[in-house]
Amino acid sequence: MPSSLRRLFATILVFCEPHDVMGLWKKHYDAMFVDYSRNHPSLDLVQQMVLIDIRNMLQSMGKDIRSYPLPDIDHSYDDASHIPHEIFEEASVEQNPEDVLLCDSLNVEQSQDKLTVAIATSGVAAAIMPGGRTAHSRFKIPLTLQEDDCCSFTKQSGTAKLLQQAALIIWDEASMTKRQNVEALDNSLRDIMGRSNLPFGGKIIVPGGDFRQVLPVVRKGSRAQIVGASLRRSYLWESMRHLKLIRNMRAQSDPWFADYLLRIGGGTEEVNEDGNVRIPDEICVSYSGDAEKDLHTLIDIIFLDLNANMADKDYITTRAILSTHNDWVDMINMKMIDMFQGGETVYHSFDSAVDDPHNYYPSEFLNSLTPNGLPPHVLKLKLGCPVILLRNVDPTNGLCNGTRLVVRRFRRNTIDAEIVVGQHAGKRVFLPRIPLCLSDDEIFPF
């Protein structure tokens, strides 16, 4: 469909870095405007509608159409030319009464806070004020920022205008971000708001995250550096005690396990003479010493009756085996794929090192690496197996990092998959094969 082709065109611009954007536009423009041309005889209007649609898609991916050599948009055709896209899109959404009623689902600790943010399963947030007054039933304007964007804001940029109008900024997983990012946003907001004497320019920032989940890991660090990271983590944790969670909301059906996790995170669980926590036998798989046999036992326990439940997407996406090493993850994935019924489809990566004229890093070597955030070189899949998206390809349609999908069909350069969790559950999407690169990885010198 033309709308799908326009979305694919925007995806190619963002992720594939085509060297001839205008040539790509001219070659496929006729296929992208067919739906608009049926109801609008003016070719100029049709072209503007196509450009505006692509611009909106690019904005949802955090990009500006003006950075690409495409025809200019005539703002006389654009009803939202003077309004940031996110705000214009939000204004057209009707208020959902169910969102307002979210305050009734708050637990005791949340309802007693002066400012409580209740996040619905749909990703909608509600700010609850004292006395039960709801400031607004939706805080749904996404601010998609790259790690270095905070340093490049100007007072006239679209993102800066959004920040100026925001009544509340929710920063999910703030505990996982780098200190420099927090400082950059603080400095940027002071500048944008013109209030250099107030933290974050006077904006209300609600950080999400749990410092108990942030390990004091220093890559290739000395013992002194690791101890220092641990002390800094403890200091941050203590300084935010009034914000910390005291109830596990995801394990309410298993109170013992929820309390056990909180005791470990809070450092109150009993330890042995070596300072290690002993995991109770009832949540462990017995160890025989035979790694291959123990792994099969673990798989059989986690994925009980796999063959009988293979077609049940709820069954297949509510179970997972976690590991601390990428190569172990790949090995377990291979075993799991072999257990699925049907024939397998194999995709290979095309690895290359940038600026390597002497071929110090041949493709055979690159193919053997499994860095964070990249799929394995040999990707084996079968129909019905679950996959997880690694990049924000199309957030407005549910294709964001961490989205779980089930494979429904294979094509040469795309995978037809179904979203199985969240507000977009049931939607069929095509996952394109796009270029991926290492980001801020200090292990590899390329």
Q: What is the pLDDT of residues 37-63, one digit of tens each?
A: 888 888 888 888 899 989 988 887 778
Q: How far apart are CA 274 and CA 281, in angstroms?
A: 19
Q: Which two tokens stand for residue 198?
A: 């107030």
Cβ atoms within 10 Å of 230's Cβ, excluding its own: 14
267 contacts: CB under 8 Å, gap ≥ 6: none
Long-range (24+ apart) CB contacts under 8 A made by 257-260 are 257/283
Q: How far apart are CA 227 and CA 217, in angstroms?
A: 10
Residue 110: pLDDT above 70? Answer: no
Residue 139 inside a domain? The answer is: no
Tens digits of per-residue pLDDT, 277-328? 888 888 888 888 898 899 999 999 999 888 888 888 888 878 889 888 878 8
Q: Which residue has the tokens 């290359």?
A: 352
Which of 67, 82, 97 corresponds to the end of one domain? 82
Residue 86: pLDDT above 90? Answer: no
Largest Cα–Cα distance of the chain, in whole Å?
Answer: 81
Quote the mean pLDDT of the chain: 76
Instruction: List, as one string, the DSSP characters of 1-33.
Output: -HHHHHHHHHHHHHHT--S-HHHHHHHHHHHHS
φ, ψ dihedrals at 407, nearest 5°: -70, 130
Q: How far apart are CA 420 and CA 81, in angstroms?
A: 36
**Coil, strand or helix: which one is 399?**
strand
First-last CA distance in the chain? 39
Tens digits of per-residue pLDDT, 183-213? 888 898 899 899 999 888 888 777 777 767 6
Burial string for 286-300 (b: 16+ CB within 10 Å, else e) reads eeeeeeeeebeeebe
Residue 42 inside a domain? The answer is: yes
Q: Which residue has the tokens 């309802």?
A: 111
Residue 166 inside a domain? The answer is: no
Q: How far apart are CA 181 and CA 184, in angstroms?
A: 5
- Residue 242's alpha-carbon distances to 45, 130, 171, in angstroms, are 56, 18, 17
Residue 23 inside a domain? The answer is: yes
Domain limits for position 344: 294-432
Report how many domains make up the chain.
Answer: 2
Q: Which two tokens stand for residue 10?
A: 């925007």
Residue 388 inside a domain? The answer is: yes
Q: Which two tokens stand for residue 235?
A: 């200091």
**Coil, strand or helix: which one is 415?**
strand
Tens digits of per-residue pLDDT, 151-185? 444 444 556 777 777 777 777 777 777 777 888 88
Which of 82, 107, 122 corresponds to the end of one domain? 82
Which of 61, 82, 103 corresponds to the end of one domain? 82
Cβ–Cβ under 8 Å, residues 259 and 271: no
Residue 403 inside a domain? The answer is: yes
Residue 383 inside a domain? The answer is: yes
- Rounded to the nearest 10°, the torsion over CA 160, 183, 113, 256 is 120
How does DSSP classify residue 271? B
Tens digits of per-residue pLDDT, 3-39? 889 988 998 898 888 889 999 999 999 999 888 888 8
Residue 92: pLDDT above 60? Answer: no
Residue 385 inside a domain? The answer is: yes
